[in-house]
């Protein structure tokens, strides 16, 4: 359990939480929500011990292991699989000790502990997590340094999930995942055996994975039972009740004040008037929870073009000589709302770039309307903003003839205030940078908006505002996003990137979501029922590893047999049973029992390793 008892803390002189008490039971899955800047990430830092309390107590169960995604993504020459395996520090330390230890009894204890923590299945567990986050077997053997920052953050996420801390803290984990990875993470979190607190603005994740919502608002923490939808309804009812109480109190105040104003100077009523003044003074005002700051997007409306605005015919596209997608035949009209679905590496971003005219087809053709204007937004564009320029300067550079008042109106239309308009981009939050990039993408009133993960860094209120703005927008929209809530409210057509091409998907989003979950579950069941589905994928390197595992198992058994023989010889000596040697006899019997237990586990591990090797060798010769 984690307990915050009457806590208050500040960062840079700003009080973020004041006099709050909340307890989270062990094993709960909790979504931490609140507007950007209220202190959610700082609350995590408090749990890590990076900042201290101004008052109150933070209590954790004894020996609680707290884990979260590392701030710096791994970028070494170590493979992805080994990076994740290294996250289990106990397993790593035990394996190192086993290689160096000479004492047979100590070796037995180490091997027993390794068996207890299921160390020998660690590679399979780590590989499963990496696969769920988008890394196939080939990628798992590559060095972390071969991947970009976003992909490395997935490795960092895989590492902390593999280490299974008692308290897992996740800060916007879906920001660097695609839809498939997010759906996998939802299922993983819901089944996680220990406590999780997750900061997220992803409504689908908060609805499908957590059983409590911890809301940070007005410097207070409130714990609600249920998922995000339940929280939203409960909070709305709470606000409505508060508003009714405030109205009632205001009417009471007006009545009392009216009486005082009428009679305070009349002798026969002065006493009653004074009494009512005292009642007014004692009446504590009822505070209404502050609503989130008004957030908005205001996309300029384009003129109407004749359909289709884009027509792709028998096209293939890729990078240099490598073709990623082929046989593409798709059409876009100005009233289309399209989501591109598909797993990592299937070509979703490649298709987006083709439509946006950032890639030229290798074969076939793409016909665009003569007057077509396209707005393109992708997450990497946040990094292309000029850090030392203000939002005003970014817009002035694109629209040099526009007056300052007009520019400020544009910025305000995307929720960038007068004050923020004159702040250097490097000092803006991720959400403010995303708003600026969305504005830049839509400056010329595009007929087609292509949005690649537009909701990263946006809070829930901003995401709702984006949904509303896209609904009002009269141009076509193509979205690649892990935010299934956004997709369900905005899109009416689905394209699926799969097997080297993109085609219309005939079913709905929920069917697609269920198909991904079902496919993942079926694959696991198939591997359990029919080992040959796994055996056929063994490489020569993997067979060498299996042979080494069998050899190590045999060596463990041999060492344990030697230990057992030595202890048996001592127990066979009649002198050991004399009263003077009673303590030594107890120790020997204890060690003998431990060795026998370790032997049983070692033999089971050897049998498992040998079966895997036998099946792999059979597959190698085609049996």
How does pLDDT run across 295-348, given as a tens digit for each residue?
689 999 999 999 999 999 999 999 988 999 999 999 999 999 999 999 878 899
CB atoms under 10 Å from CB of 283, counted, come to 12
**E-strand spans in 14-115?**
14-24, 29-33, 55-60, 66-68
Sign of the CA dihedral 337, 343, 349, 351?
negative
- pLDDT at residue 169, rounded to an integer: 96
* Helix/strand number for the chain, H first, E second: 22, 18
Q: If we measure between CA atoms, which residue out of 454, 495, 469 comes closest to residue 310? A: 495
Q: What is the pLDDT of residues 229-271, one digit of tens each?
A: 999 888 888 777 777 777 777 787 787 777 677 776 666 666 6
pLDDT at 571: 76
pLDDT value at residue 197: 96
Question: CB within 8 A of 296, min separation 6: which ones?
Answer: 413, 414, 415, 465, 468, 469
Q: What is the pLDDT of residue 261?
A: 77
In this prediction, residue 20 carries a pLDDT of: 94
DSSP for 304-365 reads P-PSPSEEEEEEEEEETTEEEEEEEEEEE-TT-EEEEE--TTSSHHHHHHHHTTSS--SEEE
Is residue 24 a contact partner of residue 200, using CB atoms and an 8 Å limit?
Answer: no
What's the confidence (pLDDT) of residue 532? 40
Listed as ranges, residues in the chain with pLDDT below 50 are: 291-292, 527-537, 621-623
Q: Which residues lie closer than 8 Å to 597 by C-beta, 6 or more apart? A: 112
Handedness of CA 147, 153, 154, 159 (dihedral sign): positive
Rg from Cα positions in the chain: 32
Q: What is the SS3 assignment for 359-392?
A: CCCCEEEEEECCCCCEEEEEHHHHHHCCCCCCHH
pLDDT of residue 606: 79
Q: How many angstroms separate the CA atoms of 432 and 434, rounded?
A: 5
Question: Longest C-alpha distance within the chain, in Å?
Answer: 112
For residue 480, the model assigns a pLDDT of: 94
Instruction: State how far the Cα of 613 lies from the Cα of 594, in Å rounded to an integer.
Output: 28
pLDDT of residue 605: 80
pLDDT at 600: 78
Please report the pLDDT score of residue 425 as a whole number.
92
Q: Quick one: tokens of 248? A: 């009632």
67 forms bridges with which residues in the sheet?
Answer: 168
Structure tokens at 188: 């993983």
Determine the Cα–Cα distance for residues 158 and 177; give it in Å rounded to an integer. Answer: 12
* DSSP bridge pairs for 220: 217
User: Which pLDDT score, from 0 to 100, does residue 538 have?
Assistant: 58
Identify the H or E element spanning 478: strand 476-480
Region class of 462: left (phi > 0), else alpha (psi between -120 and 50), else beta: alpha
Return the structure tokens found at 556: 């463990």
Spatial CB neighbours of 340, under 8 Å, sequence gap ≥ 6: 348, 351, 352, 478, 479, 480, 495, 496, 497, 502
> Which residues have a Cβ under 8 Å from the Cβ of 407 and sit 6 or more positions away?
392, 395, 396, 399, 421
SS3 (DSSP) at 408: helix
Residue 91's pLDDT is what?
Answer: 85
Q: What are phi and psi of 2, to 5 degrees?
A: -115, 135
> Do 166 and 186 contact (CB within 8 A), yes or no?
no
User: Rounded to whole angstroms, how far apart are CA atoms 103 and 417?
Assistant: 69
- If one counts every other C-beta atom within 10 angstroms of the C-beta of residue 512, the result is 20
Residues belonging to the chain:
623
Contact 592, 568 (CB under 8 A): yes
Q: Are 8 and 56 in contact (CB under 8 A)?
A: yes
């Amino acid at each position: 359990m984690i307990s915050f008892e009457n806590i208050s803390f500040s960062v840079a002189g700003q009080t973020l939480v004041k006099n709050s008490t909340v307890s989270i039971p062990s094993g709960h899955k909790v979504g931490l929500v609140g507007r950007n800047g209220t202190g959610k990430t700082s609350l995590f830092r408090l749990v890590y011990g990076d900042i201290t309390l101004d008052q109150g107590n933070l209590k954790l169960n004894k020996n609680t292991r707290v884990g979260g995604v590392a701030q710096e993504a791994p970028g070494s020459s170590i493979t992805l699989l080994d990076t994740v395996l290294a996250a289990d520090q106990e397993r790593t330390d035990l394996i190192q000790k086993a290689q160096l230890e000479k004492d047979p009894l100590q070796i037995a204890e180490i091997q027993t502990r390794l068996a207890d923590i299921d160390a020998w299945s660690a590679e399979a567990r780590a590989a499963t997590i990496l696969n769920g986050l988008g890394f196939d077997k080939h990628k798992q053997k590559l060095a972390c340094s071969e991947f970009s920052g976003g992909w490395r953050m997935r490795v960092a996420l895989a590492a902390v999930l593999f280490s299974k801390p008692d308290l897992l803290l996740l800060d916007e984990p879906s920001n660097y995942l695609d839809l498939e990875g997010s759906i996998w993470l939802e299922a993983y979190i819901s089944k996680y055996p220990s406590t999780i607190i997750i900061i997220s603005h992803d409504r689908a994740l908060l609805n499908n994975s957590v059983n409590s919502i911890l809301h940070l608002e007005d410097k207070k923490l409130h714990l609600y039972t249920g998922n995000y939808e339940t929280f939203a309804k409960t909070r709305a009812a709470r606000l409505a009740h508060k508003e009714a109480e405030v109205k009632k109190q205001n009417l009471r105040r007006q009545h009392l004040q009216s009486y005082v104003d009428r009679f305070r100077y009349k002798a026969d009523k002065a006493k009653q008037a004074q009494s009512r003044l005292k009642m007014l003074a004692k009446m504590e005002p009822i505070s209404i929870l502050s609503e989130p700051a008004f957030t908005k997007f205001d996309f300029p409306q384009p003129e109407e073009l004749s359909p289709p605005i884009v027509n792709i015919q028998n096209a293939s596209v890729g990078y240099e000589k490598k073709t990623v997608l082929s046989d593409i035949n798709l059409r876009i009209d100005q009233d289309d709302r399209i989501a591109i679905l598909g797993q990592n590496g299937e070509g979703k971003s490649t298709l987006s770039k083709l439509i946006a005219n950032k890639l030229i087809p290798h074969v076939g053709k793409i016909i665009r309307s003569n007057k077509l204007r396209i707005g393109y937004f992708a997450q990497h564009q946040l990094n292309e903003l000029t850090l030392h320029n203000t939002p005003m300067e970014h817009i002035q550079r694109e629209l040099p003839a526009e007056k300052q008042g007009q520019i400020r109106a544009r910025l305000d239309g995307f929720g960038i205030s007068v004050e923020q308009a004159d702040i250097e981009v490097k000092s803006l939050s991720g959400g403010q940078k995303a708003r600026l990039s969305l504005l830049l993408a839509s400056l010329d009133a595009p007929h087609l908006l292509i949005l690649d993960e537009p909701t990263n860094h946006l809070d829930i209120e901003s995401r709702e505002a984006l949904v509303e703005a896209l609904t009002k927008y009269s141009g076509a929209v193509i979205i690649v996003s892990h935010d299934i809530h956004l997709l369900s409210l905005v899109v009416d057509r689905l394209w699926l990137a799969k097997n080297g091409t993109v085609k219309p998907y005939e079913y709905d989003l929920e069917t697609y979501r269920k198909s991904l979950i079902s496919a993942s579950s079926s694959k696991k069941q198939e591997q359990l029922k029919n080992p040959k589905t796994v055996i056929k994928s063994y490489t020569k390197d993997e067979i060498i590893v299996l042979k080494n595992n069998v050899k190590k198992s045999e060596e463990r058994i041999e060492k344990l047999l030697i230990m057992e023989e030595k202890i048996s010889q001592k127990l066979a000596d009649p002198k050991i049973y004399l009263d003077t040697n009673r303590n030594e006899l107890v120790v020997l019997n204890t060690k003998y029992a431990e060795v026998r237990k370790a032997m049983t586990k070692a033999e089971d591990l050897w049998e498992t390793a040998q079966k895997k090797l036998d099946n792999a060798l059979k597959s190698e010769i085609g049996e």
